[in-house]
Amino acid sequence: MRRTREFHPAPCLRGGGTRTAALRIAAVLGGAALALAGCTTDSTGSAPAPGEATAVTTTTGALTTNPGNGATTPPGDGGTKAPEPTRADSPAPDPAPVDSPVSEPTRADTAAPTTESGAFWDPCSLPESDLVAVGLDPATEVRMTESMFAACEWLSTDRTFELILTHSGDSMDYVLTPGNYKDLRRSEYYGREFAVFRAASDSDNIGCLLVTPAESGSFVFTLRNSQPDGEDACLAIQRVGGGLLNSLP
């Protein structure tokens, strides 16, 4: 049976400071309706400078970003690299004059239509077998009704992390508006473009996000560790994302 619930922020897991905010659904992060907010301490609020992107290698069966070129090797292909990714580590252009309007990335101006309209895909429709294969517990599924876009949440089978998948009406470029993210890495998986990053406000690095384009808008995975000594969230989201990207429409 599908469940719905109000989402209540969890307390901070690291840093030992006062909680200012935790993982929450909101019309932030470029309108993607998903954000990870950190706990006390300072956080980085700008895009990474050229050359600062850090390559990440995951365990078997996950997306693997190779150091040096950012290319991704899909699991089970004998080491064959996917097409060279588009890098996004060039400096931002100079700001426009004060009297000139500044163009903005495309975003949805209204809330997404219901899934019954056929315009937006329902993340809660992922097959249970696909969820189990990446370590998620289908019985913990919760439809995130307070999100402005269609969103679904699951807990991992070992309860070490939670994952939210949103079909956002905002474009991938809008989700990646400078100032929203840090530690950005771009690559491709069997020809499908994706980006892995942390929310700029996630000062304790308890979470990580993965965004990939959709026919309408984008798909946004948000993963948050529920244990302070858990697996690095960006490693985990590549492992989980590697198993679910091919399940997306």
pLDDT of 178-205, one tens digit each? 998 999 999 998 889 999 999 999 988 9
Enumerate residues 6+ apart whose C-beta is below 8 A from 139: none
Alpha carbon distance 225, 151 (integer Å): 18
Q: Convert the pLDDT of each residue in 80-101 to its tens digit.
A: 343 343 344 444 444 444 444 4
Percent of the chain with pLDDT strictly greater than 70: 52
Question: Is residue 175 classed as helix, strand or coil in its secondary structure?
Answer: helix
Domain ranges of the chain: 47-86+106-247
Q: Report the pLDDT value the prediction gives residue 120, as an integer from 0 to 100.
A: 83
pLDDT of 36 > 70? The answer is no
Q: Give 229's pLDDT tier (boundaries 50, 70, 90).
A: confident
Of residues 139 and 96, the one with the higher pLDDT is 139
Q: Report the pLDDT value the prediction gives residue 243, as an integer from 0 to 100.
A: 87
Of residues 94 and 123, the one with the higher pLDDT is 123
Neighbours of 157 (CB within 10 A): 15
- Using CA atoms, how far residue 9 sits from 22, 36, 57, 145, in Å, is 5, 10, 30, 15
Q: Report the pLDDT value the prediction gives residue 248, as an integer from 0 to 100.
A: 95
Of residues 97 and 13, the one with the higher pLDDT is 97
Of residues 237 and 90, the one with the higher pLDDT is 237
pLDDT of 240 > 90? The answer is yes
Enumerate residues 6+ apart whose C-beta is below 8 A from 103: none
Q: Give 63's pLDDT tier (boundaries 50, 70, 90).
A: low
pLDDT of 161 > 80? The answer is yes
Q: Report the pLDDT value the prediction gives residue 241, as an integer from 0 to 100.
A: 85
